[in-house]
Amino acid sequence: MSLMAGTLHVVEHNALVFRRIWRGSIAVSFFTPLFFLAAMGIGLGGLVNRNSGGVNGVPYLDFLAPGLIAAACMQTAAIEATYPILAKIMWDKTYEAALATPVTIPDLIRGEVVWSILRMSIVATTFWIVMFLFGVGHSLSALLAIPASILTGLAFATPIMAFTATRRNDAGFAAINRFVIIPLYLLGGTFFPIAKLPLALQAVAWATPLSHGVVLTRGAVLGNISAPEAALHALVPLAYFAAGLLMARSLLMKRLAK
Amino acid sequence: MDNRSPVSDSPSLILARQLTKRFGDLTAVDGVDFEVAKGEAFGFLGPNGAGKTSTMRMIGGVSPVTSGLLTIFGLDPAKHGPTIRARLGVVPQADTLDMELTVRENLMIYSRYFDLSWREGARRADELLEFVQLKERSRDKVDELSGGMKRRLTIARALINSPELLLLDEPTTGLDPQARHLVWDRLYRLKQRGVTLVLTTHYMDEAEQLCDRLVVMDKARIAAEGSPRELIDRYSTREVLELRFPIDQQPVLDGELNDVAERIEVLPDRVLLYTSDGDQAIAAVHKRGLRPETALVRRSTLEDVFLRLTGRSLVD
């Protein structure tokens, strides 16, 4: 079986399961940004704009919205890489079933990565449309925020998948959310500039992928980033993705091919 | 796609020589030799922990061989895993069905894993649902099925690629007698069609029903090999007299019945006398003034073979 076929069949399996829940999932992808942008962008943003004339020279909504797309992809990737993957490893043993066919462990990983990209595409595109309806991002290049936020999510997808491959229960997933996802969500440059953080936290923010993803999406939407600068910022999430991919592969091999 | 040059010229479908599997310090399979010919129904009989599942996982090309030789269809599973698995059907010990999908969808997606078209997958799914008598349940979710139905669905799924070789790891463990007989019947029909069956079991009746040939496994090794009949002839007597005594009397028996039978096994709850003529043995027991609570003459089974070889019962 070709490289692509194995990957495709793993994606198809996910799609078959998703077919049952897609309506609810898309509704969530639509209402979450709607409420967030209304409450934070317009409500809180109104206050920010009145008191300090926006952030970095743009209205708060324009500052906030693109960063939130990157953060939303991070959250989607994190959820997709934890419970569903552990279910396939040990609760439902879906991977064991798949590995009794010509499908291989690299096929499984490639398939999950492609599936994660598809899930994030839905989330990012819906979010982008809502943002557009709020009047932010009226240029063609603003669309680049979608691939940039997917790249951000991928930087979390593979390392968390590697972590999941080592788990015997779901206890660690709450910790990932509490100690990685939520702090980054709040402090990763989405809601206010990283420069406002204490120096130590600034270092943490720049060493992790979300802050770079936020720079990329914000740069795309506001049109204030140069190509070389963008390429530099893309390197960090890319590195996380690549390292995570190698770890996930070796840990899943250890777990499933005993 | 890949180089299919066989590593062995043996006509056997499966060939194992000094096959060994270790997990750290634990030796799960310790240098076993066996061969399975095309069209045969071959069994691994043994208690839990004997190394049956580890052997099956190596044959399935999922678990790497630690040392020794193993070929399936003449191919090395380390090099040709996907090619081998394309021609295999696997029924694992624990069901691995997708609970979020329907009965039919489970078969459809599995057909995709074998790179069959959706149309062909649908055709085979309907055919197989008929074969395992689940046609009426095809739109139901899997978790609504009984244990026996799930098992049949797992068997149907293992057949979606029309495998030449079907691996079954304890196919009927946990099923009620009626469900077991239905599974046995379907497996027998597959065998009639020329599908090679390899199964593990710790039920002697299952091994006797299904297997042309089997190996008895104990403590990671093969203790004996042959057809059920041969094994019984070799390791047991024609008949067995089972005696139950009041609990406090049983230990006193030691030695008292030695010349009544060829061999005696004293189990916690009964005494087994191995003899060619059970009725004569009963008469001899009575002649000595012994009054067992019950006395039953039966034919020898693989259970007796196992007891003889290992000194233990199959199912504790």
pLDDT tens-digit series, residues B193-248: 999 999 998 888 899 889 999 999 999 999 999 999 999 999 999 999 999 988 77
Indicate whether A138 pLDDT > 90.
no
Question: Alpha-carbon distance B113 to A97, whole Å?
Answer: 10
Instruction: Map residue A88 onto helix, strand or coil.
Output: helix
Question: Alpha-carbon distance B305 to B216, whole Å?
Answer: 9
Is the CB of residue A104 less than 8 Å away from at least one CB of chain B?
yes
Distance (Å) from the C-alpha of residue B179 to the closest C-alpha of chain A? 23
In CATH terms, the fold of domain B237-299 is Alpha-Beta Plaits (3.30.70)
Chain B, nearest residue to A87 by Cα = B98
Cβ distance B116 to B35 under 8 Å? no
Which residues in chain A (70-99) have CB-CB distances under 8 A to chain B?
92-94, 96-99
Question: Which residue, A248, A216, A244, is CA-closest to A69?
Answer: A216
Q: Do A93 and B90 touch (CB under 8 A)?
A: no
Q: Which uninterrupted H or E stretch holds A29?
A: helix A22-36
Interface test with A, best of B22, B57, B115 (most A CBs within 10 A): B115
> Among all chains, which residue has been given the structure tokens 């499908």?
A103
Question: Alpha-carbon distance A134 to B30, whole Å?
Answer: 69
- Domain locations along chain B: 14-227, 237-299
- Other Cβ atoms less than 10 A from the Cβ of B94: the count is 11
Polymer length in residues for chain B: 316
The amino acid present at B267, given as its one-letter code, is L
Please give the residue range of the domain that contains residue A171: 3-256
Chain B, nearest residue to A111 by Cα = B113
Distance (Å) from the C-alpha of residue B1 to the closest C-alpha of chain A? 8
Q: Which uninterrupted H or E stretch holds A159?
A: helix A145-164
How does the average pLDDT of chain B come out, rounded? Answer: 90
What percent of chain A clears pLDDT 70, i.e. is strictly above it? 99
Q: What's the CATH number for B14-227?
A: 3.40.50.300
Q: Which uninterrupted H or E stretch holds B50?
A: none
Interface test with B, best of A101, A103, A258 (most B CBs within 10 A): A101
Instruction: Map residue B213 onto helix, strand or coil.
Output: strand
Q: Do B113 and A94 touch (CB under 8 A)?
A: no
First vs last Cα of chain B: how many Å apart?
48
pLDDT for B10 equals 58
Pair of tokens at residue B183: 């599974």
Q: How many domains does chain A have?
A: 1
pLDDT digits 0-9 by tens, B35-61: 999 999 999 998 888 999 999 999 999
Indicate whether A106 pLDDT > 70.
yes
Which residues of B are less than 8 Å from A84 in CB distance? none
Q: Lowest mean pLDDT of A49-58, A154-163, A193-202, name the range.
A: A49-58
Cβ distance B42 to B213 under 8 Å? yes
Cβ distance B302 to B232 under 8 Å? yes
Average pLDDT over residues A170-188: 95
Which residues of B are less than 8 Å from A97 in CB distance? 92, 96-98, 110, 157
The amino acid present at B6, given as its one-letter code, is P
Which residues of A are less than 8 Å from B115 in CB distance? 1, 5, 9, 102
Which residues in chain A (113-152) have CB-CB distances under 8 A to chain B?
none
Of B98, B110, B158, which has the smallest distance from its Cβ to A92's Cβ? B98
**Bridge partner list, B69:** B17
Q: Do A16 and B105 touch (CB under 8 A)?
A: yes
Question: Which residue, B276, B284, B272, B208, is CA-closest to B43?
Answer: B208
Give the angle B216-B221-B224 at the CA atoms, nearest 5°. Answer: 35
Polymer length in residues for chain A: 258
pLDDT digits 0-9 by tens, B288-299: 888 888 999 999
Indicate whether A50 pLDDT > 50.
yes
Indicate whether B3 pLDDT > 50.
no
Residues of B at the A interface (Cβ-Cβ below 8 Å)?
1, 23, 60, 62-64, 81-83, 85-86, 88, 90, 92, 94, 96-101, 105, 108-110, 112-115, 157-158, 161
DSSP A38: I
Question: Alpha-carbon distance A80 to A150, whole Å?
Answer: 13
Interface test with A, best of B72, B106, B112, B118 (most A CBs within 10 A): B112
Which residues of B are less than 8 Å from A102 in CB distance? 82-83, 85-86, 113-115
Instruction: Map residue B195 onto helix, strand or coil.
Output: coil
Question: Alpha-carbon distance A217 to A224, whole Å?
Answer: 10
Size of interface A-B (CB pairs under 8 A): 74
B14 band by pLDDT with thresholds 50, 70 and 90: very high
Asked if B14-227 and B237-299 have one fold, the answer is: no
Instruction: Map residue A188 onto helix, strand or coil.
Output: coil
Which residues of B are less than 8 Å from A9 in CB distance? 109, 112-113, 115
The amino acid present at A128, given as its one-letter code, is W
| ipTM entry | 0.91
Q: Do B112 and A9 touch (CB under 8 A)?
A: yes
Indicate whether A87 pLDDT > 50.
yes
Which residues of A are less than 8 Å from B112 in CB distance? 9, 12-13
Edge-to-edge strand order for the sheet containing B239-244?
B263-266, B271-275, B239-244, B294-299
Chain A, nearest residue to B142 by Cα = A92
Q: Which carries the bigger pLDDT value, residue A157 or residue B11?
A: A157
Of A16, A17, A100, which has the smallest distance from its Cβ to B62's Cβ? A100
pLDDT for B246 equals 81
Which residues of A are less than 8 Å from B81 in CB distance? 104
